[in-house]
């Protein structure tokens, strides 16, 4: 797969960046402040079949040895080779884990902490979530004082996981939400995400304004996240929202709705470089 073969939607705010043969979707310029941030794509790993090729997840039936190699390549491509990875046992809730001590070396097989978001001020640690059509959100306090990552499917969105992560990161960094920036990663688009009426009802309970985002038996998860962040105090110019639909972008991204349970996943990774 050559770089030229990948067509991004018009006005896509994330850039495809190739590092050591691995394609990442990245918010441009975050690395300038020492913030390593990326969403994985399918490209650059060693997995086969429905996991082809860059699958970072052990939970969907892929060969653990291949996943280990994919994870090694991914961390290296992000610029965080051999950094410890903080992983969470994602449960579609609104709990935020504050990472206040560096985790053990490696990327754990089993995450013990139940949460759907993580924040930290530590350098040299990668925060991670793994998603399948749900929305991954990366957060940073300006100039890299702190970082966060969120797994926001419809249940977590309804429960307020993104608002909770914003508040926790602001508390940790003693800053206001207007000093945060967000990169919302690729997720399933509204045209590809028909839902039952209970989904819209649950989201509207805590987000009564979200009529457009939950109209016509569909949910626009990415627009919801962007609007939640804006309403929670982030400046519109500080919110990058991907236009890539996981189900439609078959060359580039895995999709649970398209490929089923036994397929690859997308990792959202963020880490702070040690300041020189």
State the residues that interact with Zn ion by CB under 5 A. Answer: 189, 192, 245, 247-248
User: How many CA atoms lie less than 13 Å away from 181 in the CB half-sphere?
Assistant: 18
CB of 18 to Zn ion, least distance (A): 24
- Give the nearer residue to Zn ion in terms of CB position, either 16 or 192: 192
CB of 192 to Zn ion, least distance (A): 3
- Return phi, psi of residue 185, to 5°: -85, 180
CB of 248 to Zn ion, least distance (A): 3
For residue 53, cis peptide bond before it (omega within 30 degrees of 0): yes
Q: Quote the CA–CA distance of 157 and 135 in Å, as a whole number.
A: 9
- Give the nearer residue to Zn ion in terms of CB position, either 245 or 269: 245
CB of 258 to Zn ion, least distance (A): 9
- Give the nearer residue to Zn ion in terms of CB position, either 204 or 248: 248
- Give the nearer residue to Zn ion in terms of CB position, either 47 or 246: 246
Q: How many residues make up the chain in this entry?
A: 276
Using CA atoms, how far residue 196 sits from 159, 200, 206, in Å, is: 17, 8, 18
What are 203's two structure tokens?
A: 């989201």
């Amino acid at each position: 797969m050559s770089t030229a073969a990948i067509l991004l939607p018009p006005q896509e705010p994330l850039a495809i960046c190739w590092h050591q043969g691995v394609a990442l979707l990245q918010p441009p310029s975050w690395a300038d402040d020492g913030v390593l941030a990326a969403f994985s794509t399918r490209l650059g790993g060693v997995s086969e079949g429905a996991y082809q090729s860059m699958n970072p997840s052990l939970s969907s039936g892929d060969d653990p040895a291949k996943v280990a190699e994919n994870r090694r390549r991914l961390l290296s491509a992000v610029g965080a080779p051999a950094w410890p990875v903080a992983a969470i046992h994602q449960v579609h809730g609104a709990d935020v884990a504050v990472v206040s001590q560096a985790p053990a070396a490696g990327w754990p097989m089993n995450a013990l902490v139940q949460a759907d978001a993580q924040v930290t001020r530590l350098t040299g640690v990668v925060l991670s979530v793994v998603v399948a059509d749900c929305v991954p959100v990366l957060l940073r306090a300006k100039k890299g004082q702190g970082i966060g990552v969120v797994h926001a499917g419809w249940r977590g969105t309804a429960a307020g996981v993104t608002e909770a992560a914003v508040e926790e990161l602001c508390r940790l960094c003693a800053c206001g939400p207007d000093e945060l920036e967000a990169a919302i990663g690729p997720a399933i688009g509204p045209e590809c995400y028909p839902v039952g009426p209970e989904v819209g009802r649950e989201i509207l309970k805590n987000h009564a304004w979200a009529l457009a985002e939950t109209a016509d038996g569909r949910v626009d998860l990415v627009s919801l996240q962007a609007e939640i962040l804006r309403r929670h105090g982030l400046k519109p110019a500080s919110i990058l929202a991907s236009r890539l639909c996981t189900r439609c972008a078959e060359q580039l991204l895995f999709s649970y709705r398209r490929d089923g349970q036994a397929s690859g996943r997308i990792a959202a990774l963020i880490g702070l470089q040690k300041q020189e």
